[in-house]
Amino acid sequence: MADAFTVITDQILLRYGGKPICAHVGDLRLCAMKKHPTYQELRSQVRLGRSKSTASLRLWESVVTLAREGERQQREKWLMIALDLLTPYFRGWSKELARNWNYEVSDIRSAITEGLLAAWSSTDDRTPPKKLQEIMMRNAFASARSLVNSGSPETCTDSVDAFIPEGAHESIYTLRPSSIIDVGAVRDPDANERIRGERIGSLLQRMGAMDHAAGLHSKLRDGLRDETPAPPVTPAQVGRSWVDGRNLYYRISDLLPQHIGFTKAASALGISEAQASRKARDGSLSFRILWAGNTRVVSVNSLMYALGIPDSIVHPDDVQNGASHINGK
């Protein structure tokens, strides 16, 4: 029977094996690097564990960022890859432990995987990737040793949900109330939505960026949303979607580039590049970094979160009305 390590590797190879993969920014189309390896090639080049390989540590930092940001499916993909990059360093040790303690190696590898996941889910998101790697590996070793020391050759039967802090999913996938309605200012959800969209439209018009927004609106109306998923429609928003069955709502971040340079991101926070680099090393930087070779970039969503800018949901009609008002139309 296949053990946990093999299942993880096989699943990744089944989905992504043989195709070029971008572990810099997660999307080949957005990456400045010209050449990308297949997953098999990428995996063979990574040296983690006690390695001091700068290239491997930078790749690990990007994988950790991708596994903590973006859409749910992408987070799951990169978390699987993060696990698969660590498990090679437990293969030989798990065999030796199984032989010395007369245990099934598959049980030990399951305990190691549980330890890796437990450390991942319980560690603060701002933990530096290198420190996170050390915590995960230490926890994996401890989990396997705890299993064999228990005296019973059985693995943990707890649900995987036991290793995820209560409320973790809700905080990630639920829209912040302030993104939808400010009940202190406007009591009517529909009015609040329209005001928010019109304010965004007027701002875009003043900045000279309304043509870009109009291009996105045209694509949404033509049913060309690319790969960006539509925000979920709330009960208050159903009325604007039922006529033609189309959800035209989008997030403000859809108008922005997905990544920004590290220097510009630091400047947006009001600190120098050197200060940001020091904060990144000690884990106190409020946004996470992606590496593309020797170049650092930052997810715009991560920077918006660090600056306290809500990724509001708006409707094209409201945005265009706000822009038209500024134009005096």
What is the Cα–Cα distance from 290 to 261, expressed in whole angstroms? 10
Question: What pLDDT, on the 0 to 100 scale, is given for residue 243?
Answer: 54
Instruction: Please give the distance of CA 130 from its chain centroid, rounded to a whole number.
Output: 17
Mean pLDDT by 10 residues, the chain (329 residues): 86 85 84 85 79 81 88 88 91 89 90 94 87 92 88 46 44 40 53 84 87 89 74 65 70 88 91 89 84 85 87 88 77
The CA-based dihedral angle spanning residues 94, 95, 100, 104, taken in that order and rounded to the nearest 10 degrees:
90
What are the DSSP calls for 24-79, one per residue? SSS-GGG-S-S---BHHHHHHH---TT---HHHHHHHHHHHHHHHSS-HHHHHHHH
Question: What pLDDT, on the 0 to 100 scale, is given for residue 24?
Answer: 84
Question: What pLDDT, on the 0 to 100 scale, is given for residue 235?
Answer: 61
Question: What pLDDT, on the 0 to 100 scale, is given for residue 182?
Answer: 45
Question: What pLDDT, on the 0 to 100 scale, is given for residue 80?
Answer: 93
Instruction: Please say whether the beta carbons of 320 and 201 come within 8 A.
Output: yes
What is the Cα–Cα distance from 250 to 242, expressed in whole angstroms? 17
What is the Cα–Cα distance from 182 to 199, expressed in whole angstroms? 14
Reported residue count of the chain is 329
Instruction: Please say whether the beta carbons of 303 and 290 come within 8 A.
Output: no
Question: What pLDDT, on the 0 to 100 scale, is given for residue 286?
Answer: 85
